[in-house]
Every structure is written in structure tokens, then in C-alpha cells.
Amino acid sequence: MFERRGIYKLKDIKMNEGQKREQLRKHKMLATGLFLMMAALFIGMSIAIKQSAQPWMYYVKAFSEAAMVGALADWFAVTALFHYPLGLRIPHTNLIENSKQKIGDNLGSFVVDNFLTAENLRPYILQLNVARYASDWLSKDKNQALLLQEGSGYLRKVINDLDDSFVIDLMGKQAGALINEFDLNSLLGQGIQYAIDKEAHQPLITFIAGKLQLYISQNEELVKEKVKQESSALIPGFVDNIIARRLTNGLSRFFEEIAADEHHPLRAQLSEQLILIGQRIQEREIWVDELQQAKVAFLESGQLASIANDIWSNIKRSLLEGLAADNSAIKNYLARMISSAASSLREDAAVADNINKWIRKNAYAAVMRNRNSLGTLISKTVGEWEGKALSEKLELEVGKDLQFIRINGTLVGGVVGLIIYALSELVF
């Protein structure tokens, strides 16, 4: 029985407003029809008794008379909830419309005091398993694709909506503040020391030595000309050529040896000189002054804003192109992140447990913190409804069930009247 009643209630919830109005109209007609039937029965029995009275007729008349009284009394009670009976402004009628603010206040307090309590909320909050729901949803490829598509579109919108001038100005100010705080002497000196400690300068030496060897070997004629220009007029030209050739070959082999030998003495000498330069940059006042002046000149030149503009333009263009393309690096990265998140939620119980704990804690705290606000919202919302509209809405929702009060009142009133009449006949 209860299961069927639950099904009927579910069907009522799914009805639209028109269907509810039609249902209410039918039940009103049924209750009114029953009253009219009792009235017709009463009139018929009254006429029949005058013409040819039979004992049973008095019982039927008593039943119908009491049924009419019960029907009218319950009609008045039900109608008084939502309207003025027959349009008469009788005190304590049209209760819903006249008491909407009190109803809203009481409803808000009722919900807060009986539903939004720690005892009632805690069992439901503890059953929240958002991580499992998210994992089940993300485990499907179509949902991952949907999330990637929607997320990419949202990110593109956010990037396009950004104020470029604001971003560029912010980047410039942040970079300027960062540069202004830098101790360039220490940074540059320590950077040189770090590069030497990590042998980062050796490839550069190899590269420079190789380039010098190649340049000298390819420009032997130029060396000859320089030797002749510096040579004495008494020295024959072929001697100058021999000297130039030997000089060229010697320098070429020298730089070739430097490029090939990682332990060449010149490399050690260069390393020592670089270390010395790094120390001087950190210690000598002239370097401090020079770098400080260079830093100030750079910050005041306006080049930082231009650099920030170029950087942001390139970043923005790359991001928008990447988010619009199908197989871009950024989209592939986002897809891997989504897949990784799904795997973590599905396989890592600790991660899922931490997420659920965080959500439960914050959901519980948010509801408990705003429970009174919810009561105020209910009270304010009901109070701001138009009285007539509220009355009609409530009648539409519960009016059908209230018509059974009229029907029951008719039948119960008739039975009670019949019993009273029967007892009076029995006694008197």
C-alpha cells in the first residue's frame, strides 16, 4: 500500500501545472457532486415522508441532512485556507494569502531546526563519495574527450577576455621589481663561478678554438699580407711567405690542440682568469657602480615594457593556437593530466580518501555556517511572493488531497447524524 502511494506521489510530482489543475478540478467536482447528491437525497426523503412516511425514510433523511452539514463545514474549512468563502471577507479566512509572511518565517525556521541540524546532516555528509563519482565519470573516454573540449574552450575564452594592457603592465612591473631587487654583482660573479665548477665554459672554449683554427687556416693570404706589411724591406718576399706560412700553421695547430685537448694548459689559465673576473665583479666598487648604472638605465629605458609585450604576445598566440589545434602539445598535455587524474582517483585510495574528506569537511562547514541564511532565504522568498499566487500554488499542490476532507466530511457527517438520530429514537 505504501509502495503504491509512493508511486502515486511520484506521478503527482512529475505532472505539469495544467495536469494538476485538471486533477484538482475533477476532485472538486467529485466532492461537490457528493454534496449535491446528499441535498437531492434530503429533498427527496422530505417529500416522500410527507406523502407516505416510512420509518426507514427518517434514517435516510437524518443521514443526508447531517452529510450536508458535514460537507458544508468542511467546504468552508478547505476554502478558507486559500480564498474568501463566497467572496465574503470573514475573519480568519483566506489564511494563506493573509499569513504568507508568518508562513515563510515558520517554514524557514522549521527547515533549519528540523533538517539542517548536525545530527541530520552528518550521516548524509559522511556518505558523500565524490571521488568515486568523479572516477566513474572520468573513466569513460567520451567524458574525458568532453572535458578536454569544454576545458579548452573555457581556457580560450579566459585568455581572449584578458586585458592585454593589464597583463603586459603587470608583467613589466613584476619583472622590474624582480630585477631591481637583484644583486647583479653577486648574481653574475656567482654565476661565473658556478659555470666553471660545472665545466660549463669548456664547450665554449672548444667552440671558439675550433672557429679560430678554421679562420686562420682559411685566411693564410691575409696573414702573408700582414707579415709583409710589418717586415723590413731588406727581407726577401719568399722569406716573408715562409714566416707567414709557419706562423699560420703554428697558430692553426695551437688552436686545434686547444679544441681537441680537454686538459690543455691554456684552458686552465682561462678558467683561472674567469674565476678572477667573477671575484672582481663581486668585490670591486667599480663593477658595482657600473652594473647598477646599467640596471637603472635598462629599467628607465622602457625596453622592459616592450619585452613584456613581446613575451605576452608570443605566449598568448601559442596558447590560443595550441588550444584550438587537435593534436597540439598543450592539448596532449591536458589529455594526459585528465587521464592521470582519472587513474589516480580510481587506483589511489589515499588520494580518493583525501578528496572525499576535504569535500565532506567543507560541505558540512558551509551548510552549518549558512544554515540560518537558508532559513532567511526561505522566509524572504515566501514573503516576497504575491499572496494570491502563493495561495493558488499551494492549492494546486495539496488541493486535490484536501478535497478528500470534504468527501470524508460528507460521509462521516452523515454517519454521525445517522447514529445520533438512531440513539435519540432508541432513548426517546
User: Is 221 contained in some domain?
Assistant: yes
Distance CA 329, CA 308 (A): 24
Amino acid identity for residue 380 in this structure: K
Distance CA 328, CA 135 (A): 26
Q: How many domains does the chain have?
A: 2
User: Reduced to 3 states, what is the DSSP secondary structure of residue 382?
Assistant: helix
pLDDT of residue 118: 79
pLDDT of residue 1: 38
**Could you say which of 257, 284, 311 is where a domain stops?**
284
pLDDT of residue 405: 86
List the grid coordinates of 254: 695551437
CB 68 within 8 A of CB 38: yes
Q: Which of 266, 294, 311 is nearest to 187 (CA)?
A: 294
Distances (CA, A) of 418 to 39, 65, 407, 413, 425: 15, 9, 17, 8, 11
Amino acid identity for residue 246 in this structure: R
Q: Beta-strand (E) ranges in 234-327?
A: none
**Could you say which of 284, 308, 341 is where a domain stops?**
284
pLDDT of residue 123: 84
List of residues 6+ apart from 74 with CB closer than 8 A: 405, 406, 408, 409, 410, 413
List the grid coordinates of 103: 508562513
CA triple 376-379-381, angle to 5 deg: 105
Counted residue by residue, the chain has a size of 428
State the burial class of residue 131 (Cβ atoms within 10 Å of its Cβ: 0-12, 13-18, 19+). buried
What is the domain range of residue 275? 186-284
User: Is 65 contained in some domain?
Assistant: yes
pLDDT of residue 419: 92
List of residues 6+ apart from 301 with CB closer than 8 A: none
**Could you say which of 259, 284, 309 is where a domain stops?**
284
User: Is 417 contained in some domain?
Assistant: yes
User: Is 229 contained in some domain?
Assistant: yes
For cell 686547444, the residue is: 258
User: Is 261 contained in some domain?
Assistant: yes
User: Reduced to 3 states, what is the DSSP secondary structure of residue 326?
Assistant: coil
CB 418 within 8 A of CB 410: no
User: Is 401 contained in some domain?
Assistant: yes
Q: Beta-strand (E) ranges in 213-279?
A: none
List of residues 6+ apart from 49 with CB closer than 8 A: 57, 58, 61
pLDDT of residue 416: 92
pLDDT of residue 139: 82
CB 165 within 8 A of CB 313: no
pLDDT of residue 401: 82
pLDDT of residue 14: 57
User: Reduced to 3 states, what is the DSSP secondary structure of residue 288?
Assistant: helix
Long-range contact set of residues 128-134: C-beta below 8 Å, sequence gap at least 24: 128/356, 128/359, 128/360, 128/363, 129/356, 130/355, 130/356, 130/359, 131/345, 131/351, 131/352, 131/353, 131/355, 131/356, 132/345, 132/352, 134/345, 134/355
Distance CA 48, CA 61 (A): 10
User: Is 251 contained in some domain?
Assistant: yes
Furthest CA-CA distance within the chain: 173
Distance CA 195, CA 217 (A): 31
For cell 581556457, the residue is: 155
Q: Which of 270, 242, 248 is nearest to 258 (CA)?
A: 270
pLDDT tens, the chain, 428 aa long = 334 444 444 444 556 778 888 888 898 899 999 999 999 999 999 999 888 888 889 999 999 999 999 999 989 888 888 788 878 788 878 777 777 777 777 777 877 777 778 788 888 888 888 888 888 888 888 988 898 888 888 998 998 888 888 888 887 777 767 666 665 666 666 677 777 777 777 788 888 878 887 877 777 777 667 666 666 555 666 666 677 677 777 777 877 887 788 788 887 888 888 778 777 766 666 666 666 666 666 656 667 778 888 888 888 888 888 888 888 888 888 888 888 888 888 888 888 888 888 988 888 888 888 888 878 887 777 776 666 776 777 777 777 788 888 899 899 999 999 899 899 888 87
User: Is 42 contained in some domain?
Assistant: yes
